[in-house]
Structure 1
Amino acid sequence: MNETMVCAVGNVATQPVFRELAAGPSARFRLAVTARYWDREKNAWTDGHTNFFTVWANRQLATNAATSLTVGDPVVVQGRLKVRAETREGQQWTSADIDAVAIGHDLARGTAAFRRTGRPDTAAPAPPRPEPDWETPAESPDPPAGAEPEPVAVAAAAP
């Protein structure tokens, strides 16, 4: 597939908007990406132009983004770039959207605590399987003459 994949590093500019649609959860937010460069004349870092992208997330990524992101959070977004041109009220508009594949906090600018979310279960979970006994049994002295050996329990494998 010939898609334009991008990785954008910036800040969450708007609170994520979450919607539960027929096709599944969807969320969107604006991402502000500002270029920074070293200005030799000022001998300091200077902010350049700021680009704004609308980031779209679907399914579990949408749910997690809506609950994890707030305005101002530094994030890294990876996804497919979509540039759209349209006419609204007689004016030509161009927007750059990112259909997100992955979103994460930028750990170069802070810390985060990761918590795994449970997946929605469609089937009943499989019962836990017993741990096999891999250890070699310790050698025991020979049983007395005439004694019957102890029965060995054999467990049948569950289908």
Structure 2
Amino acid sequence: MSDTITVRGLVATDVRLNMAENSGLQIASFRLCSTDRRYDRDKGTWSDGQTNWYTVSMFRYLAANAAFSLNKGDRVVVTGRLKVRPWTDSSGRSGTSVDVDAESVGHDLSWGTARFTRHTADKEDQSRAARDVSDNGDDDLPEDVDPMTGELTSTHATPTDSGEADAGKEPVLVGAEAPF
């Protein structure tokens, strides 16, 4: 049984993008912190409550789009399947891991604005069209940008400036053998 959860919080780490060695599956993750805030009527001020920490995992196009779009410190809304697992390390320490296998991730528009670019064509049609364009010698675009949608086809491209994002920021790439 899996529980669906929606969490609002801050991206607390850089988004780590990895590609599975055998299948080529794109996998990304980041740590999310969510702090409860309450208004204290007696004091007339807001105070922080407990902070909950989650590891958010994303797969396929969601992983690539998140690595391109999210930055450390962004306020986001994450919806996905909740996984709570006990763990014990080699030194005998134990704890509980709280993970979210994300189904959707987006900026929390309560805190700012965002510009969204939708990928409308079927992914197979996009790949076919990209091959057709590259076969015709269209060299105006970098190799890692899909000419039909502008979508990144590789994780080595630099995102464009979207206001708050650093123009030169690249997703943090992790080797295929590195654990999350």
How does the TM-score come out when normalised to structure 2? 0.65
Match of 2:35 in 1: 34
Change in Cα spacing, 1:32 to 1:86, as seen in structure 2 (3 Å) is same
Structure 2 distance, partners of 1:124, 1:70, is 31
Structure 1 distance, partners of 2:84, 2:57, is 13
Question: Highest Rg: 1 or 2?
Answer: 1
- AA at the equivalent of 2:56: V
Identity %: 44
Give the match's secondary structure for 1:111.
Answer: coil
Match of 1:17 in 2: 16
How far does the alpha carbon of each residue in 1:47-88 deviate from its partner, in whole angstroms, 9 at most, with x for none? 111111000000000000001000110000000000010111
Bigger share in strand: 1
Matched-pair contact (CA < 8 Å) for 2:2–2:83: no
- AA at the equivalent of 1:71: K
- AA at the equivalent of 2:6: C
Match of 1:152 in 2: none
Aligned length in residues? 124
Residue 75 of structure 1 pairs with residue 96 of structure 2: no
Give the match's secondary structure for 1:8.
Answer: strand
Structure 2 distance, partners of 1:40, 1:13, is 30
Structure 1 distance, partners of 2:96, 2:122, is 37
Structure 1 distance, partners of 2:122, 2:67, is 16
Structure 2 distance, partners of 1:8, 1:54, is 12
Ranges in structure 1 where 5+ consecutive residues have no aligned partner: 126-159
Structure 2 distance, partners of 1:105, 1:53, is 17
- AA at the equivalent of 2:104: A
RMSD over aligned Cα atoms: 1.6
Match of 2:124 in 1: 121
Give the match's secondary structure for 1:76.
Answer: strand
- AA at the equivalent of 1:83: V
Matches within 5 A, 1:121-140: 121=124, 124=128
Higher relative contact order (CA 8 A, sep 6+): 2
How does the TM-score come out when normalised to structure 1? 0.73
Structure 1 distance, partners of 2:68, 2:128, is 27
Bigger share in helix: 2
Alpha-carbon distance, 1:119 to partner: 5.7
Q: Which moved more, 1:92-101 or 1:114-123?
A: 114-123
Structure 1 distance, partners of 2:118, 2:63, is 15
